[in-house]
Amino acid sequence: MASKRKRITIGVGVTAAVVITLGVGIGTANAATRRPWWDRWNHKPPASAPATPKPSASVSATPKPSASAPASTAPSASAPVTTSAPAPAPSASTSVPTVPAGTVSAPPANATFDYQIGGAYTPPSGVSVVSRDYTASPAAGIYNICYVNAFQTQPDAESWWKTNHSDLLLKDKQGKLVEDEDWGELFLDFSTDAKRAALTTIVGGWIDKCAAKGFKAVEPDNLDTYTRSNGLLTEDQAVAYAASLASYAHGKGLAIGQKNTAELSTAKAKKAGFDFAVAEECGTWNECGAYTATYGSKVIVIEYDQGGFTKACNSHGSTLSVVQRDRDVTAPGSKSYVWKAC
């Protein structure tokens, strides 16, 4: 899995937005640059890819959990525990019962947060909310968010999609597969009701795993894929697909978060059914207000640079969960590891 805030978007105000994508259908995030995240999983973008893209049209990116994301509980703080990449679920599991309406709860507001989609480890003292890849186990005793890539494929899952669901991969007018060239990810085609239903069945299998393991929410990455599709996909189609995923997640007792995409209106966010937001670098791009306008204090902010972290803390640190992580989202013991909260 993975996550990365890389593309920029026309944010509300002056800015850029964010999204996420993960392994075999699981998520990634988009941070002001998706690159470090990706490098971490040894899937490096072209050398020409900018380290920190400037906002232009809608874009977003975030670090991604790798296909070998940890699967054990309470892994060592010194290094994440990993397992081999799981095969994509062919369909939604029936082992997880549907939960009665009204049992979904969003992450607590202004809670101390840690972003562990790159590898699970013992959370720092005081952390009460954590986000981990769906292949990992939840951290004991706290609120856990499950990261999945729902709008694009993982590079190492491309063959599986081509073999089993080529009809669900986006193609241009010439019949050529549409690819996010920066990260080597194929776009999923959620342009019709039938395709959205089929994709929900596949991603629903991953959501079932999240629910069965005890996660409390799901974070589907790369909502903003439509902004990079050259008009082949639309915002309304993305919202309709997100609504299908939200309905499925809610049926399993999981809250669902909007990942990046600051330009999404409050009306469309409500139509999608999101319960909270996960915003990468909204301090850096002056976008935090776009999320609070919709979700109030139910916004989790991840910054990757000191400047953005300081801005987010000064403007929203008293009401939102704000954390700084290293762009590779590494575990303690790594030379690049950074975790700060305000």
The predicted structure's pLDDT at residue 182? 76
The predicted structure's pLDDT at residue 35? 33
The amino acid that residue 251 corresponds to is G
The predicted structure's pLDDT at residue 98? 53
3-state secondary structure of 11: strand
State how many domains the chain has. Answer: 1
Rounded CA gap, 314 and 317, in Å?
6
The predicted structure's pLDDT at residue 175? 95
Rounded CA gap, 244 and 201, in Å?
10
Cα four-point dihedral sign 131, 137, 140, 143 = positive
Give the CATH number, domain containing residue 269: 3.20.20.70
Per-residue tens of pLDDT for the chain, all 342 residues: 334 444 433 333 333 333 333 334 333 433 333 333 333 233 333 333 333 333 333 333 444 444 333 333 333 333 333 333 334 444 433 344 555 556 799 999 999 999 999 999 999 999 999 999 999 999 999 999 999 999 999 778 899 999 999 999 999 999 999 998 877 899 999 999 999 999 999 999 999 999 999 999 999 999 999 999 999 999 999 999 999 999 999 999 999 999 999 999 999 999 999 999 999 999 999 999 999 999 999 999 999 999 999 999 999 999 999 999 999 999 999 999 999 999
Q: What is the dihedral of CA 200, 275, 86, 329, to 10 degrees?
A: 140
Rounded CA gap, 155 and 186, in Å?
8
- Count of all residues that appear for the chain in the document: 342
List, in order, residues 6 or more apart from 30 with CB less than 8 Å away.
Answer: 3, 4, 5, 6, 7, 17, 18, 19, 20, 59, 60, 61, 62, 221, 222, 224, 259, 260, 280
Rounded CA gap, 275 and 284, in Å?
23
Asked whether the beta carbons of 301 and 316 are under 8 A apart, the reply is yes
Rounded CA gap, 147 and 28, in Å?
8
- Is residue 124 in a domain? yes
Q: Quick one: which H or E segment has residue 129?
A: strand 129-133
Write phi, then psi, for 200 (nearest 5 degrees): -65, -35
- Is residue 11 in a domain? no
- Is residue 8 in a domain? no
Asked whether the beta carbons of 253 and 211 are under 8 A apart, the reply is yes
How is residue 186 written in tokens?
Answer: 């194929």
Write out the residue range of the structural domain in which residue 301 sits: 23-72+87-341
- Is residue 82 in a domain? no
How is residue 326 written in tokens?
Answer: 């290293």
- Is residue 1 in a domain? no
The predicted structure's pLDDT at residue 147? 95
How is 42-79 classified by DSSP, letter by letter? T-PPPTTS-SSPPP-SS--EE-B--TT---SSS--TTS
3-state secondary structure of 34: coil
Write phi, then psi, for 199 (nearest 5 degrees): -65, -35
The predicted structure's pLDDT at residue 102? 60
Cβ-count burial of 156 within 10 angstroms (0-12 exposed, 13-18 middle, 19+ buried)? middle
Rounded CA gap, 281 and 60, in Å?
10
How many Å is the Cα radius of gyration of the chain? 17
- Is residue 328 in a domain? yes
**Residue 313 half-sphere exposure toward CB, CA atoms < 13 A:** 14
3-state secondary structure of 292: helix
pTM: 0.75
The predicted structure's pLDDT at residue 155? 78
Rounded CA gap, 254 and 247, in Å?
10
Asked whether the beta carbons of 157 and 24 are under 8 A apart, the reply is yes
- Is residue 81 in a domain? no
DSSP-assigned beta bridge partners for residue 185: 180
Neighbours of 217 (CB within 10 A): 25
DSSP-assigned beta bridge partners for residue 323: 302, 341
- Is residue 80 in a domain? no
